Amino acid sequence: MATNQQNNEEEVDLGSLFVIIGKGFSNLFNFIGNLFKGVFYFFITILLFLKEHLVKIAIAATVGFIVGFFIEIKTPKRYTSDLLLQTNFKSSRQLYDNIGFYNNLVKQRDTFGLEQTFGLDKQAAASLKKFTITPIKNQNDIISGYNELILKTDTATVRNYKFEDFKESFSDFDFKLHEITVIAEKNNIFKGIGDVIITSVVKNEYFNTLKNITNENLNRLDSRYRQNLVQLDSFGNVFMRVLLAGSKKVSNGTNIDFAGENRSAKEIEIFYTNQRVNQLLEEVAAEKLEKNEIINIVSNFESIGNEINGVTENKAFQLAALFALATILVLLFLKLNRYLNNYKR
């Protein structure tokens, strides 16, 4: 009797479990079905709204297009050109400040200030419309910056300073490459502007001092590594002479340290040391090339700027979209207002 009662209880428990599982799946499928119904209803509501007010929106877009078309005809053509730079010795902050200053002159319509800064005539200075600078964000810059920090800092400090923390503190100024964009109404003034932008940073005495000290240190490193290569070659020659001399004495029972496994180990050690010194020389040469200037020009301004065009830059398209969007917002506001009035009743 007790066994039968226990089996009945287990069957009841399993039955309850299957009922719970079934209800769970049923609720899940109902939720998914209601979600799809909600999304479908939302899109149908949008389509009904557009169908109801399509004529009004089309009229508003047409008016915007016509207004924008006339504005586009009267607006002078604009040209753009880009300057790609690599900054050294943390000179990027000064570069950003200078670009901000130039752009402020444009915003304030200080034609005289632009004339004096860039050596332009009044007409060319007045044609300048915008200066911008943005970093070329490369994750390798962050990784190399963190590696340099590890090499320069003691182990205990680095252990408490994680890569994610370093990444968050990495600012736009810390990236190596930066792109300067200039927009103007004249297409042949960019080259002269680029020279002024670079000179304004290159003539800084502090950066020049850093450049000279850095290059002196790199030259010393280069000389030291070259001397090490000469010493390694000399040691290798001596090592080979000793091996030859030792091989002649083996027949007389004389043993030397350079025999057997010890000999092979020393040959391998000399080889890898030579390879490492050559690698260090290559790194120094690359750094000397990079740090030879305060600012390295990767890509200069083009002599003739590129005309700014395209649908998204066209005033007719912009105003057509703006008028249509404004009309939709007004219609939605009116519909919401009617709903709230009916809701009060």
Question: What tens digit of pLDDT does each residue of 76-86 get?
Answer: 778 888 889 88
Section 147-175 average pLDDT: 72
Q: Which residues are registered as beta bridge partners of 307?
A: 79
- Tell me the per-residue pLDDT of 47-56, one tens digit each, with 9 for 90 and over: 887 787 888 8
Q: What is the pLDDT of residue 258?
A: 46
* Statement to judge: residues 263 and 130 lie in one domain: no
C-alpha closest to that of 241 among 256, 229, 223, 230: 256
Cβ partners under 8 Å of residue 167, min gap 6: 142, 146
Q: Tell me how far the alpha carbon of residue 268 is from its chain's centroid.
A: 43
176 C-beta neighbours (distance < 10 Å), count: 19
Cβ–Cβ < 8 Å for 323, 61: yes
The token pair at 5 is: 């009662």
**Maximum Cα interatomic distance, the chain, rounded to a whole number of Å:** 121
Which 3 state secondary structure label does DSSP give 130? strand
* Statement to judge: residues 220 and 84 lie in one domain: no
Q: How far apart are CA 300 and CA 103, in angstroms?
A: 19
Q: What is the pLDDT of residue 246?
A: 58
Q: What is the pLDDT of residue 136?
A: 87
C-alpha closest to that of 85 among 173, 172, 170, 176: 176
Residues 163, 166, 167: CA angle, nearest 5 degrees: 85
Mean pLDDT computed over every residue of the chain: 77
Total tally of structural domains belonging to the chain: 3
* Statement to judge: residues 154 and 302 lie in one domain: yes
Q: What is the pLDDT of residue 287?
A: 78
* Statement to judge: residues 260 and 324 lie in one domain: no
Q: What is the pLDDT of residue 103?
A: 92
* Statement to judge: residues 70 and 91 lie in one domain: no
C-alpha closest to that of 294 among 172, 210, 174, 196: 210
95 C-beta neighbours (distance < 10 Å), count: 21
Place of tokens 């290569």: 229
* Statement to judge: residues 301 and 325 lie in one domain: no
* Statement to judge: residues 162 and 84 lie in one domain: yes
Does residue 62 have a pLDDT over 60? yes
Q: How far apart are CA 38 and CA 200, in angstroms?
A: 60
Does residue 20 have a pLDDT over 80? no
Residue 9 vs residue 208, higher pLDDT: 208
* Statement to judge: residues 102 and 221 lie in one domain: no
Q: How far apart are CA 232 and CA 237, in angstroms?
A: 9
Highest-pLDDT range among 128-132, 237-241, 287-291: 128-132
H and E: helices and strands count for the chain: 11, 5
Section 207-212 average pLDDT: 85
State how far the alpha carbon of 144 is from the alpha carbons of 14, 84, 138, in Å.
61, 21, 10
28 C-beta neighbours (distance < 10 Å), count: 10
Q: What is the pLDDT of residue 154?
A: 59
The percentage of the chain sitting over the pLDDT mark of 90, rounded to a whole number, equals: 3
The token pair at 130 is: 């915008």
* Statement to judge: residues 185 and 304 lie in one domain: yes
Handedness of CA 338, 339, 341, 345 (dihedral sign): positive
Handedness of CA 19, 22, 24, 27 (dihedral sign): negative
Residue-number span of the structural domain to which 261 is assigned: 211-290
Highest-pLDDT range among 153-157, 162-166, 327-331: 327-331
Q: What is the pLDDT of residue 249?
A: 57
Task: Tell me the pLDDT band of 127, cut-offs 50, 70 and 90.
Answer: confident
Q: What is the pLDDT of residue 143?
A: 81
Q: How far apart are CA 255 and CA 252, in angstroms?
A: 9
Q: State the first-to-last Cα distance of the chain, in angstroms, to the nearest integer.
A: 69
- Tell me the per-residue pLDDT of 257-282, one tens digit each, with 9 for 90 and over: 544 445 566 667 767 777 777 788 88
Task: Tell me the pLDDT band of 104, cut-offs 50, 70 and 90.
Answer: very high
Cβ–Cβ < 8 Å for 178, 135: yes
Q: Which residues are registered as beta bridge partners of 181?
A: 82, 132
Instruction: With 0.75 as the threshold, say if the pTM is over it.
Output: no
* Statement to judge: residues 246 and 179 lie in one domain: no
* Statement to judge: residues 16 and 46 lie in one domain: yes
Cβ–Cβ < 8 Å for 200, 92: no
Q: What is the pLDDT of residue 159?
A: 62
* Statement to judge: residues 279 and 228 lie in one domain: yes
Section 161-181 average pLDDT: 81
Least confident range of 100-109, 166-175, 198-207: 166-175
Section 189-217 average pLDDT: 85
Cβ–Cβ < 8 Å for 158, 150: yes
